[in-house]
Chain A
Amino acid sequence: MELSYTPAEEAFRLKARAWLAENAPREPRPVDPYEAGKFDRAWQRRLFEGGFAGLSWPKEYGGAGLSLFEQVIWYEEVSRAHAPGLNSLSITVNHAGPTLIARGTEEQKAFHLPRILRGESVWCQGFSEPGAGSDLAALQTRGEIVGDEIVVTGQKMWTSYGHVADYQELLIRTDPGSKRHKGLTWIICDMKAPGIEVVPVPNMMGEHHVNMVFYDEVRIPIANVVGGVGNGWSVAMSTLSIERVMSFLGDQIELLEKCDRVFALARQTRLESGKLACEDDDIMRRLARIKAQALATRAMTLDNLSQLNKGGEAGAEGSVMKLFVTTATKELASIVSEILGPDFIEYGTDRTSNRWTYDFMWAWVLTISGGSSEIQREVIADRILELPRAR
């Protein structure tokens, strides 16, 4: 049992730190949803040139081929340098790429993987529908096989970055009589294909990053199917298990940094009583509890990765981490609202007017998207506690 990193890992940290100091963008990510997309592509391109694109991807596919702990170190350094996350490229690099690597054909890999790494293509996820969010298997968007094409009609919902995406991981029902997990197909959809309409769904913060996507007889070559017709559920689940284990790593590591920013805020903000927030026992204890949880988040992450590193299988740990981190983040945001008092309600039309208040509202995005807290508790009850199922 050991908390230190190997000399090679420490050398990697120094390399990452030096590269980030030199290359991380100094300007903030634009608020405009289209400009933000360009910013993300440019950052991905720079990561690619620096050899830091596709951190977890094997080297044979052009990835950085980092070990689990090197990825932790990378995210620690990104947090330290205040460098941007992948944002609109997150689905692309962390879901689409790994799914193609696991289940795609050689042609699909050869075409898409280099484009993803170079920041030339953005992917969005077409899973959720108006009637299929937490209950994904209820999805109804139809795909009719006609010759060597699949003709898609229906609607997707909550499609993050659909407005800037080139491709979509699209999950459709290709067997019309099928129910639930059977009869689904995972297909690569070109977002510029005729019959696709992307409609923005502005969020309560006043910004636009999610969309509705409508499909009116969109023709997709059957060669775009990944993992075979009818195997969509298992292909989609291979993405989700990757998502749950690794894609929250940045958020997990970021929580400590966020917590320390609130301690800094408390040092300089006066409460209604006239005393500084850092002199208020109740606020300080609530904040200290989140700090303890942030430290535990780090410990749990390292513990999980230690098990995986020894050849353990990824189980429901991702659900535990997602529930724990997002719940803590939400509590942290509510502590900030108490510290800021009347300044908290000063908010214009987007994040530039008040980042703290924006983050307060963003916390709901965290506890709802990617499987709500209630769904994560169900997963823990089923898979870790093995309680009898209600469903």
Chain B
Amino acid sequence: MDLSLGPDEEQIIDSARQFLTRMLPVSRLHGHAGPALSLSDVRLQAVEMGWLAIALPEELGGLGLGPIEEMLVFREIGRGLGPTAILPTMLAAHAAALAQSPLADKLAAGEVGCALAVPARGATDGDLTRVRLYDHEGATCALISGKDETLLIDIASLPLTFRPCLDKSVSMADADLSGAPILAKVPGKQIRRRGVLALAAMQLGTAEAVTAMIVDYAKVRTTFGKPIGAYQAVRHACADMEVRCMAARAQAIYAAIALRDELVDADLMLDAAFALALEAAVRNTDDNIQLHGGIGITMEHDAHLYMKRAQVLCHWFGSESSALDRIARASLATAASEAEHV
């Protein structure tokens, strides 16, 4: 039994954090400062970092690492408000390799990008006629990952209805994918599981980033002659933010190991990690704005960027409620089988 990170894991965290701070600083989202990278440049950088194929087996051109390393990288992307498009592109590279699609090499090399497709509100799992696309700009295909299978669909020549997204770093559109060519198909839910874990990790990173942001501010901002961090109204709210992060972090690590080892309760662990991470991100980005006071609602501040990111990511792999519903169903099933035993 060992849930602690080792030196290899710490190094993955460090290099991801350094890369994001140097190449893709949060200030880029205010439209100034820092080297501006195009979407294709970002993909190439991600390839350089090994992120797109981090968990692919070496014989398929990957780094041969696993869900833990993948989770750690996406946590840093969340923390630094990094490019969300890395997530669907990483999943697509994985799916294409498993399906032995010729697209695999292009995706892994960053030559093409992939959007994330999710059923539109009210559409059922597997219905391709009404689909919401995220990060379709610069993408030629879309990944749609249901509970039974994952599809890679060609969207290069598809009519899309552009939608303005709350998070300006994310592009968003509606589409009908039902007639579009299917490029690859992977049965089962292994790709979806990786997506859910990576998303939980991004939300965790978001929650951690804003906790650090308000704690730093509370040490320097003064009111009534004292730093605001000396007032219990602020201290206790910060403590609650930190505890939410700690719970979400420990559960994300646990779920990543459970996924790596294919444990029987991996889905339950993953749903719990997902629910806790979304809750932490939504509540902490909210508290961060509130505790900052007036400056927290201005466009020039970073606080709203994190709030918007957290809100947008809540729609990528289903809501927190959908994860809670799965946890309830699994727990009720266990209770039912135990009742039969007695």
Contacts and interface: CB of A to CB of B under 8 A. Distances in A.
Interface of A: 1-5, 9, 69, 72, 259-260, 263-264, 266-267, 278, 281, 284-285, 287-289, 291-293, 295-300, 302-303, 305-307, 309-310, 320, 323-324, 374, 376-378, 380-381, 384-390
A9 B339 CA distance: 30
A381 B211 CA distance: 12
B227 A388 contact: yes
A377 B235 contact: yes
A288 B275 contact: yes
Interface string B32-59: 0000000000000000000000000000
A264 B339 contact: yes
Interface stretch (B87-95, B166-174, B261-269): B261-269
Contacts of A291: 272, 327-328, 331
A303 B219 CA distance: 29
Interface stretch (B1-9, B125-133, B145-153, B182-190): B1-9
A4 B262 CA distance: 12
Nearest to A256: B331
A267 B339 contact: yes
Contacts of B158: none
B54 to A, nearest CB: 16
Contact-residue bracket for chain B? 35 or more
A390 to B, nearest CB: 4
A288 B4 contact: no
A141 to B, nearest CB: 29
Contacts of A299: 3, 247, 250-251, 253-254
Interface stretch (B75-83, B106-114, B238-246, B309-317): B238-246
Given A267-B336, A380-B243, A388 B236 contact: no
Given A292-B324, A380-B243, A387-B219, A69 B1 contact: yes
Contacts of B13: none
Across the A-B interface, give the 4 residue pairs with the lowest CB-CB distance, nearest first: A387-B229, A299-B250, A381-B235, A292-B272
Contacts of A384: 239, 242
B4 A295 contact: no
14 contacts: A1-B5, A1-B253, A260-B334, A284-B324, A288-B324, A291-B272, A300-B246, A306-B3, A377-B235, A378-B236, A381-B229, A387-B215, A387-B235, A388-B229
B3 A303 contact: yes
A289 B279 contact: yes
A307 B6 CA distance: 11
Contacts of A389: 230
